[in-house]
A = this chain, B = another copy of it.
Amino acid sequence: MTECRVKECRVKDRKTAILEAAARVIAHHGVRGLRVEELAAEAGVSKALVYYHFGDRAGLLRHTLRFIGDRAERYTGGGPPGPPGTPGPPRAPKDAALELERRLLLELRDTPEVRENSTAWGELRASAVFEPELREELARAGRQWVREIADLLGRIDPSPPDAALVGAAERLTVLLEGLSTRWLIGVLPVGHASELMRGAIAAEVEALRLREPRQACAVA
């Protein structure tokens, strides 16, 4: 089904081309602005082919959500989709704390790839309020993303119970989504968003450390 045999991998099957175009169009005009005709033109195929492959508009959105999630999974160099992001250093697992910060800040860089992935993901997430068929995929991606962040937190400080790690991870990932949204809206400069993210990481890590208060002042 795919013709990808040459080094450059330029020849894609049209189904994939449609999904890539969908991500691009959604990032530029939103889910509401997604016209099947425009999408087809962008992908270089006919309108009818879109319906052939995805049934209807809703099916297209569902597949696009999954596609974006999978793409981010490869891009972040790790497990999760989530509010997807983009390339980054080929994964050098130095200190867990640094890796955690790297992972979370990966989604807050003003590059075309991050913008496109994050904008499209944010749009689809917002649509999910009214399109229940998107929820399962969102929930799945969210869980995976939380799990990964929780594991990184656990590598920084293994003492807290898993529930506490997961709670912190949930807060950090949800905050990231919120920051990303504000950034993309244009009411929050991306640098400020990163700074806030760093602050939250620090606060959460500190809070995890303070779970055993006796220990807190022992060193002092």
Interface residues of A (CB under 8 A from B): 29-33, 119, 122-123, 125-130, 132, 135, 138-139, 142, 167-168, 170-171, 174-175, 177-179, 181-182, 184-187, 195-196, 199-200, 202-204, 206-207, 210, 216-217, 220
Contacts and interface: CB of A to CB of B under 8 A. Distances in A.
B139 A187 contact: yes
Question: Residue among A31, A128, A185, A206 with the most chain B CB within 10 A?
Answer: A185
How many copies are assembled?
2
A88 to B, nearest CB: 23
A210 B37 CA distance: 57
A122 B185 CA distance: 12
9 A-B pairs with the lowest CB-CB distances in the bound complex, closest first: A126-B126, A178-B178, A174-B178, A203-B207, A217-B217, A32-B32, A139-B187, A217-B220, A30-B130
